[in-house]
A and B are shown apart, each in its own frame.
Chain A
Amino acid sequence: MREITYRDALREALIEEMQRDKTVFLLGEDIGLYWEGAFKVTKELAKRFGVERVRDTPISESAIVGAAVGAAITGMRPVAEIMFGDLVTLAMDQIVNQAAKIHYMFGGQANVPLVIRTPFGGGVNIAAHHSQSLEAWFMHTPGLYVATPSTPYDAKGLLKTAIRNDNPVVFCEHKLLYPIKGLIPEEEFTIPFGSADIKREGADVTIVATMFMVHEALKAAETLEKDNLSVEVVDPRTLIPLDKEAIVSSVKKTGHLIVVTEDCKTAGVGAEIAAIVAEEAIDYLDAPIRRVAEPDTPIPFSPTLEKFVIPNEESIIKAVKEIV
């Protein structure tokens, strides 16, 4: 095992898949020779693989995804980068009406092996147009897979799987995760979609958390252990497909569920997970489910405001204490 950052884990996945398969190529704004990616995930890749396979594009999100769709249905495996998750709005028709529907609508004649990488999440004071978490929109779009890695290990393994998958994948990254470090094996590995990871085992409360919130949940679990509360942290790793079984069986064990996500609370990721547990395991619950999420506001700029709306260790602990 060796320790690398989430950023380098993603980069390694791109390098390995580009070496393995000549049809894999990258396109996006400022990912190439001169800037090497807004978050440096594509550092030195244009130098290594050439500008034909690591393509700088104009600021044209709709054309980035649209061109990736066109390439994907004609034999290529594009990995498109949208510089900030908020900007997927500019490509929504191509993602939702085209990429997601082509396989189904044309009766299975074509596959769309396309990955759209984009960073979501707040915490770096860049306000309402660069800080949202929009994963739930894509959970609501049949035909897309949605990956949400929280660690370097998951990032690498899931990105390799995403690139090899024949369906369009919205690959959600998180700005605050890029510099975090974690252990990954020396040898090649992939992680199957729809397989949750128990990030910490526990007996009293289940916390289902995604992306950066996994780390906040783990901190909360650590703190709560001092109060003799044993917290289990379940990371779904992919929201579509969702490992319902892992979530439901954890809830059956603990009888308590907290869902922590960074997206808006209403009709969000947590709402779906809570609904699944209500449908499939309500008799096992000893207390109401709690969702810890963004309180339905745009992400504000000023540090005091932003800190207030994004869930963290304290708000998670508060929610846990309300139900146990």
Chain B
Amino acid sequence: MDTEKVAEMYRKMLEIRLFEEKVFELYGQNLVPGTIHLYAGEEAVAVGVCSNLRKDDYIVSTHRGHGHCIAKGANLDKTMAEILGRRTGYCGGKGGSMHIADFSIGVLGATAVVGAGIPIATGAGLSIKLRGTDQVAVCFFGDGASNQGTFHEGINLAAIWKLPVIFVCENNLYAMGTRQTQVMLTKNVAERACAYGIPGVTIDGNDVLAVFQATKEAVLRARRGEGPTLVECKTYRHKGHSRFDPATYRPKEEVEEWLSKDPITRLKRQLLQEGTISNAVLAEMEKEVTESVEAAAQFAKKSSFPLPGTALEGVYV
């Protein structure tokens, strides 16, 4: 694979990781109102998928969505400002951490109702088909969402109409504190694809190159008009579900095992071993990313809050 492309994927994953660490830090300083759902640990999914997408392709995101949006090209300053509730944020402070959107780059918004994005992505796929373009729509959702009725309705509709949608299940093994094994008998979410007559694949979601390859197939298939694919990426969140959830429901050994499979250190090790990239280049990259994340934090902190009265604006077009 093209070294430059892999390096770019590494950089994006790092950007998401450092961004999330910064969000966590700012949260600790009481600068983030409400709650946060960090993406740290799952970076390979968003980056592996979005590295196959064009600017005019769509994604639909979730409450754990910072990573999806950054991977699709969202501006760090505006994302951080939105998370801090500032007027310079993507939604002028009306959305917050769970509702980042940037329609100019195809980020159709993060919905915080679990599973609600699935039919919306199907609709974006329908729009693509009716307009006759070769765009695709990607829907990110978790293992928890796969037990919602919208999963069945939305994927079935995309399947029967052969819509250009890639359904990406980020299976991080837990829906809040509920283990996947408590709530479904099949081992893999992707097994459900056969119920809709579409391909379903389960891949190592902490291997960005595997994610890239699997979604590449799915994206090509979608662009050819052959319909949707369900791609399940097994992954793990480093932190708890939200805020300061200590995630004590997860066995220590399990956490340690997954931390050892961290997608970023894994790719870094691989790149260094192969000699495709040098330590010096990686260090330089890390420095640049750290600076851009810090700049986003400064931008957000310096931005003012929206004027209270603007709460009344924009309910209708």
Which residues of A does B touch, CB under 8 Å? 23, 25, 52-53, 55, 57-58, 60, 62-63, 65-76, 78, 93-94, 97-98, 102-111, 142-143, 145, 165-167
Additional A-B contacts beyond A66-B118, A98-B111, A107-B90 (6; CB < 8 A): A60-B153, A62-B154, A63-B119, A66-B116, A67-B122, A104-B315
- Is B124 interfacial (CB 8 A cutoff)? yes
- Is B173 interfacial (CB 8 A cutoff)? no
Are B315 and A105 interface neighbours, CB within 8 A?
no
Which residues from 83 to 122 on chain B have a C-beta closer than 8 Å to any C-beta of chain A? Answer: 89-95, 99, 101-104, 108-109, 111, 113, 116, 118-122
Least CB distance, A27 to chain B, in whole angstroms: 8
Chain B residue nearest in CB terms to A25: B130
Least CB distance, B208 to chain A, in whole angstroms: 27
| Assembly CA distance A67 to B120 (angstroms) | 5
| Assembly CA distance A67 to B109 (angstroms) | 15
How many residues on the B side are at the interface (Cβ–Cβ under 8 A)? 46
- Is B123 interfacial (CB 8 A cutoff)? yes
Known contacts A103-B314, A103-B316, A110-B108; A70 and B99 CB within 8 A of each other: no
| Assembly CA distance A23 to B122 (angstroms) | 17
- Is B33 interfacial (CB 8 A cutoff)? no
Least CB distance, B163 to chain A, in whole angstroms: 9
| Assembly CA distance A72 to B92 (angstroms) | 22
Chain A residue nearest in CB terms to B106: A74
- Is B128 interfacial (CB 8 A cutoff)? yes
Are A67 and B154 interface neighbours, CB within 8 A?
yes
| Assembly CA distance A110 to B90 (angstroms) | 12
Selected from B124, B153, B314, B317, the residue in CB contact (under 8 A) with A70 is B124
| Assembly CA distance A166 to B157 (angstroms) | 25
Would you give 12 A-B contacts (Cβ < 8 Å), ordered by A? A60-B153, A62-B154, A67-B119, A67-B126, A70-B119, A70-B125, A74-B108, A94-B116, A103-B314, A106-B90, A109-B90, A109-B91
Are B131 and A106 interface neighbours, CB within 8 A?
no
When each residue 294-317 of chain B gets 1 if its CB lies under 8 Å from chain A and 0 otherwise, what string results?
Answer: 000000000000000000001111
Are A76 and B130 interface neighbours, CB within 8 A?
yes
Residues in chain A near residue B161, CB distance under 8 A: 55
Selected from B91, B93, B102, B123, the residue in CB contact (under 8 A) with A66 is B123
| Assembly CA distance A93 to B154 (angstroms) | 14
Residues in chain B near residue A165, CB distance under 8 A: 317
Are B314 and A108 interface neighbours, CB within 8 A?
yes
Are B157 and A57 interface neighbours, CB within 8 A?
yes
Which residues from 130 to 152 on chain B have a C-beta closer than 8 Å to any C-beta of chain A? Answer: 130-131, 137, 149-150, 152
